[in-house]
Structure 1
Amino acid sequence: MILRQIFLATLSIFLVLGYDMEFAAAEDCSACVQLTSHTFDKILPKFKAVLVKFDVVYPYGDKHKEYTDVAVSTKDSPDLLIAEVGVKDFGNKDNQDLAKRFGIKPDDYPTLLLFVNGRKEPYRFVAEKDDEFTANNIKRFIKKKTSLYLGLPGCIEKLDQLADEFKANEKDRKEIFNKAKLFEETLPEEHREAAKVYIKLMAKILEKGDVFVQTEQTRLENLLKGKLSVEKKKTMEERRNILQSFMFRDEL
């Protein structure tokens, strides 16, 4: 009887300090769709792009929060699905076959793969440092690899559309440049500074050609690696977001 009571007490402590802590720490991503080995190949073809996070069954922590932010902020995009695959290393070991299929090991969690309709292999999101695993960087990655519109901090949708036209129609660039200047005059004061960035970039591209986009991208990336004030870093990141609107997306 005494041994049984000791066993039950020990088990209770184990549950409270062990599994319960894991469950308590786990954070639900209500805007994410949970995929399994049975549903994975049925769901993916229904969307232009699907971002999938391969992770532990009960994910938590800063990276999971950032991923949740991506799901919430893109929930109204009908062509993009934000999903999760929880891989079990116990019991039935659910979804381990999916992880093996894409060469993902437990040490790799969380791993983000972007599946683009019409492309055989997924793109893998790479964050060289933990602090680069952010919602904005993930959305920037999606925008770069797809034709989907995602509003990034600092960007203005109408000017993003004009940027798309600008990069695709070289002979009409001066006309599009003039359209952007006229549109800038209609904007409220708080958006004027961002609009000026679009216009300055168009002017530089007209002067130096498309090569300017890549050299400016390199310059901004180098600046962002240095020591910047919070405000300066925010400004540089927003400029980088706008610049991406002028970049040609990766060929499928």
Structure 2
Amino acid sequence: MQYAAEATSHPAFVTRVTELMKVREISATKLAQLLEESESTVKNMLYKGTSCTRERLVQLARVLETTVEYLATGSDTTKVDDSVSLMVQSPEQLAFTLGILVKEPPAIVVESVLRTLPMPLRLLSEYGLTPESTRAVLVNTDALKSVVSRNDIILVDISQKTLHEGVYLISIRDSVVLRQVSPVITGFALTSTNPNILGTTVPIDPETGFPKNADTRVIAKVVCRMSLSAL
């Protein structure tokens, strides 16, 4: 099993731990007692980025009634096969992990959403994707309702940093938008299927292929949704 970098990062690990703590109503003080660790050690791990030792990880899994695999990677399965486990993020979380947004957004709060999405490598290959460039994103907007709906999970390609015909996640002035993209004379038109959202045009630098405005950045191209219908 391969895992996306975000799924195995320390912030992702802490998110999984704190979510389980909330479910089981365990405070940091109580967790320290259950782990037989000092409270400062536990808080450093949760809030200051201190790494978790293998022994503490095993103890955490026991106390939080989960598996080491889930805490370390976000995957609920230990089966080894030709697949990749993708952590499901909001568009803003993805932009933050890629260094596009400066301020960390809130975590996803929809309980029914998958935290991780196992994807066969063969299927990724059929869509021209690689494990390194593929991310799973939870749609949190009605901007393209007839194309993708709120709470759909989409697969995006973060290696696509220049605009072409298609559907993209784009950062504009510290906000993330989901838009259909079409070429026009001056660059690309960004449109929505929502009549309450006005379209706009992104001028492109002909030499670099990137948006002229520094506050406009391409996050990723949308490739497919959970139904695996090509966009």
Return the TM-score normalized by structure 1. 0.25
Which of the pair has more CA radius of gyration? 1
More helix per residue:
1
Which structure is higher in strand share?
Answer: 2
TM-score by length of 2: 0.26
